[in-house]
Structure 1
């Protein structure tokens, strides 16, 4: 297995910081909409001006979409990427057979989900992250922690501790961290189910809730016996 990539870590931290800023900005816009109520979508609280219906054809997420759908994809992508980063650390470190099975399940589910969400954003004409729309961000600071403002994200220190662990210590730490990580993803997916508009995105959110709730239960059982 290759060594943990610091440059990749920095890119992921930067991306998460940007997405957290976008999430905060979305809340601010919702709270400070002024007197112009014509563009508000009463069903989701998102601006109807950004909701669209892309052409059908090969569109992977046909139908209308809103800001909540876009944010779900943009935030869940780096969230999944960190889960995969954690899963890769299990190679040569995990000792429990069930942990290894769950690692394989996570990789099998989340790699294609990332690609799916990227395809939505491309079809919707939206960037994979908000970086393009945040010119005021200091991209070179490198001082933002992994989990800034995003539910369930591990910090840089958490990731370093996990990387240094081995055997049963790794298994327990991995299970505890992945429970927290999954609970964050479940919260994000439940928000999408409540506030999103796109049927395809809401279906994936429901699948995330089901799969990751089951995995949380399995990790809990592992912690009870190791």
Structure 2
């Protein structure tokens, strides 16, 4: 099964790189290839996903709602494999994989990334306050990922990256609906 991840937007330059990643991580000679938008998608989505996982890691010790625990498990379960998939693409393309702990350069709240102050507020919250804050922050985070994935769908060239972007749009849109119910107290 191919894991899918959302990526950061920005119009790629359309530069053609000479290989396309196959499911086994090897290059496929003569394939359509990938472009700068595909690289940007993976390089920006990896830190974006890592932050979402860091947010979900707080749930076990802070959340009061089983719904929050369930959606956090779902998010982490999808995004960890997507990080591995995108990292594999970048390595096969000869591109840099963002280091663990690296911040996504050029990303900010518009991309759904939480500031250090926002994350500190989330870490300090407990119970129902945590649940509502987690839901609101993850909605913003997912909205940023969805926008990045849509940019990949329109600007990218690699079929697997575009497929992953589509999967991210679908799965995170559904998760946002669930999170809105949590944030609204329903």
Aligned partner of 1:35 in structure 2 is: none
Aligned partner of 2:111 in structure 1 is: 151
Partners of 1:153 and 1:146 in 2: how far apart?
Answer: 10
Partners of 2:149 and 2:88 in 1: how far apart?
Answer: 18
Partners of 1:57 and 1:220 in 2: how far apart?
Answer: 35
- Change in 2 beyond 3 A, CA 1:190/1:107: same
Runs of 4+ in 1 over 4 A off after TM superposition: 54-57, 144-147
CA contact (8 A) 1:146 1:153 kept: no
Secondary structure of 1:159 counterpart: helix
The CA RMSD measured in Å over matched residues stands at 2.9
* Offset of residue 147 of structure 1: 5.1
CA contact (8 A) 2:35 2:157 kept: yes
Greater relative contact order (CA < 8 Å, ≥ 6 in sequence): 2
CA contact (8 A) 1:147 1:155 kept: no
- Change in 2 beyond 3 A, CA 1:57/1:97: closer
What is the TM-score with the length of structure 1 in the denominator? 0.69
* Offset of residue 98 of structure 1: 0.6
Partners of 1:57 and 1:173 in 2: how far apart?
Answer: 37
**Are 1:221 and 2:185 matched, yes or no?**
no
- Change in 2 beyond 3 A, CA 1:61/1:101: farther
* Offset of residue 92 of structure 1: 1.1
CA contact (8 A) 1:93 1:166 kept: yes
What is the TM-score with the length of structure 2 in the denominator? 0.83
> How many positions carry a matched residue from both structures?
174
**Are 1:87 and 2:56 matched, yes or no?**
yes
Q: Deviations over 1:142-194 (max 9, x none)?
A: 9x999537600000000000000000000000000000000000000000000
Secondary structure of 1:210 counterpart: helix
* Offset of residue 58 of structure 1: 3.5
CA contact (8 A) 1:59 1:123 kept: yes
Q: Deviations over 1:44-63 (max 9, x none)?
A: 64223xx2125869436753
CA contact (8 A) 1:153 1:181 kept: yes
Aligned partner of 2:168 in structure 1 is: 208
Q: Select the structure of larger CA radius of gyration.
A: 1
Gaps of 5+ in 1: 1-19, 28-43, 131-138
1:117 pairs with 83, 86, 89, which one?
86
Partners of 1:53 and 1:145 in 2: how far apart?
Answer: 25
Aligned partner of 1:16 in structure 2 is: none
- Change in 2 beyond 3 A, CA 1:91/1:69: same
